[in-house]
Amino acid sequence: MVREEFSIGDSVLHHLDPRVKVPAAAAFSTVVALSTRWSAMEVALGAALTLVAFARLPLGALFRRLFVVNGFIALFWAVLPVSISGTPWMHVGPLSLSVEGMALAGRMTLKSNGIILAFIALVATSSVGRLGAAMNRLKMPEKLTHLLLLTYRYLFVIQEEYERLKRAAVVRGFRPKTNLHTYRTYAYMVAILFVRAAARAERVQHAMVCRGFAGRFHALEEAPLTGKDWIGALALGGMVMGVAFMEWGAWVCS
Amino acid sequence: MHISEGILSGPVLGAGAVLTMAGCAMGLRHLESDKIARTGIMSACFFVASLIHVPIGPSSVHLLFNGAVGLILGWAAFPALLVALILQAVFFQFGGITTLGINTFIMAFPAVIGYILFRALVRRRAGWALPAAFFTGAFSVFLSGVLAALALMFTEDKFINVAGLVIGAHVPVMLIEGIMTVFLVAFLKRVQPDMLPSEGPSSR
């Protein structure tokens, strides 16, 4: 179920240090989320597509992701053109679709896809292990990064355990349907997952203490940022500035 | 329900980020370092549980379990759900960086409210505990739906119809979550009662 399909690769962006990529992605998302002008959104989408090209991502997986994300956006396309009154664009039966509603939905589609594409190209190209280490170096609260790394570490273990429970249930004839028995079975599966997880947590805690855990994770890779990382940081910084200029440039210059 | 990137306005995103930071500060302060392994593994559990699709009629819904998260983790639900949402963003791109704050708040605030309102009843005997469990499960999903709808409304008054759809979509999930939380609490009461909230307000 859970796979980090974008984190494996050999592109420029895969090799860029997450300490550069994560702040760049955060800055880019923020600027695009706040943008209101078409020109800024178009430049942002173009920049995001360029990043995707640089990251050489598997296109099939990429389209599957975008499809799911745009499902939520489709809700707005279904509702806004009808519910916002304004200049009618075309009539479908008794309903009229307004230009204003279409424009609002269109802006959201551009922004949303721009941000997501950049996020995939910049953040999903690192494994969570490296992201966690980077968060630590970026001075995020230490307990939070521990929590992230531990959750990541045990996610796959717990998932396998759930798959095992489910297989066992299916072998015994469990077929999910809309009834109380199904809900009870799932609830018990989740409950037993919790109980086993609590027992496992105790063992993990003891093992960590035995190995000298005193509230710190030490990163094995303490590599400083290289020249390439700095060049990447400059390029990404320029990209964010470019989008910001399209949005607020006229205001700053006047 | 995650609100996608690029929809909400700056003030709403900012408010979500600030509220989530406050909630996480509260959660992490109570989280001693010997509880981190437990909270992390629990958070992994909720992540896996949220991938379960249960059938409802011809369709299926996926569960949130934020009521149960609240009951089991208390205030630590904030950092635990934040971590789960970070992982969902990295793995599936459900949500992203700017919506991390508001989406975490939408999930975690109802979890903590459910914990505060119902923890005393859930540790009583079954006659009290099971109805309380139903309300915890149903109420926290409902509150999540309302918060998501409010986030949309504060962004743009014209989103009122979408906001209505969002709340409507939460209603069937609400009932199923309520029922499942009852079974879950009943199971834990028999098998491992110390996982449910104990005496006192301390975070577990």
- Three-class SS string for B111-149? HHHHHHHHHHHHCCCHHHHHHHHHHHHHHHHHHHHHHHH
Among B8, B28, B183, select the one facing A141 at the smallest CB separation. B28
Res A25: pLDDT: 93
Spatial contact of A125 and B93, defined as CB atoms under 8 Å apart: no
Interface residue of B1, B36, B136, B203 to substitute, partner A, most A CBs within 10 Å: B36
Interchain contact, A151 vs B7, CB within 8 Å:
no
For residue A182, the enclosing domain spans: 133-210
Residue B200 lies in a domain: no
Closest CA to A149 of B35, B41, B28, B77: B41
Strands B53-56 and B59-62, sheet pairing: antiparallel
Res B203: pLDDT: 43
Largest CA distance in chain A: 73
Q: How many domains does chain A have?
A: 2
pLDDT (tens digit per residue) in A188-246: 999 999 999 888 888 988 998 898 887 777 766 667 888 888 999 999 999 999 889 88
Res B199: pLDDT: 52
Contacting residues of A for B97, CB less than 8 Å apart: 25-26, 29-30, 119, 123
Residue A149 lies in a domain: yes
Residue A78 lies in a domain: yes
Sign (positive or negative) of CA dihedral A167, A169, A175, A177:
negative
CATH number of B169's domain: 1.10.1760.20
Spatial contact of B159 and B152, defined as CB atoms under 8 Å apart: yes
Q: Tell me the C-alpha to C-alpha distance, in Å, between residue A122 and each of A47, A131, A140, A249.
A: 12, 11, 19, 25
> Same domain, yes or no, for A150 and A120?
no
Q: How many domains does chain B have?
A: 1
Residue B89 lies in a domain: yes
pLDDT (tens digit per residue) in A98-108: 888 888 889 88
> Same domain, yes or no, for A22 and A120?
yes
What the block records as the tokens of B25 is 């500060």
H or E segment and range at residue B55: strand B53-56
- A21: pLDDT strictly greater than 80: yes
> Same domain, yes or no, for A142 and A173?
yes
In this prediction the ipTM stands at 0.88
> Same domain, yes or no, for A81 and A25?
yes
Q: Is A178 exposed, middle or buried (0-12, 13-18, 19+ CB in 10 A)?
A: middle
Residue B204 lies in a domain: no
For residue B34, the enclosing domain spans: 10-195
Residue B97 lies in a domain: yes
Residue A215 lies in a domain: no
Spatial contact of B37 and B76, defined as CB atoms under 8 Å apart: no
Residue B125 lies in a domain: yes
Residue B141 lies in a domain: yes
Name residue B62's beta-bridge partners. B53
Residues present in chain A in total? 254
Residue A58 lies in a domain: yes
Q: pLDDT tens, position by position, for chain B (204 residues)?
A: 678 888 888 999 999 999 999 999 999 988 887 788 889 988 999 899 888 888 887 777 888 888 999 998 999 999 999 999 999 888 888 778 999 999 999 999 999 999 999 888 888 887 888 889 999 999 999 999 999 999 999 988 878 888 888 888 888 889 999 999 999 999 998 888 888 876 544 444
Q: Which residues contact A233 (CB under 8 A, 6 or more apart)?
A: A20, A24, A225
Residue B2 lies in a domain: no
Residue A2 lies in a domain: no
> Same domain, yes or no, for A178 and A245?
no
Contacting residues of A for B160, CB less than 8 Å apart: 83
Res B1: pLDDT: 60
Contacting residues of B for A26, CB less than 8 Å apart: 97-98
What the block records as the tokens of A22 is 């994560």
Cα nearest neighbour of B40 on chain A: A151
Spatial contact of B76 and B158, defined as CB atoms under 8 Å apart: no
Q: Which residues contact A31 (CB under 8 A, 6 or more apart)?
A: A40, A44, A240, A243, A244, A247
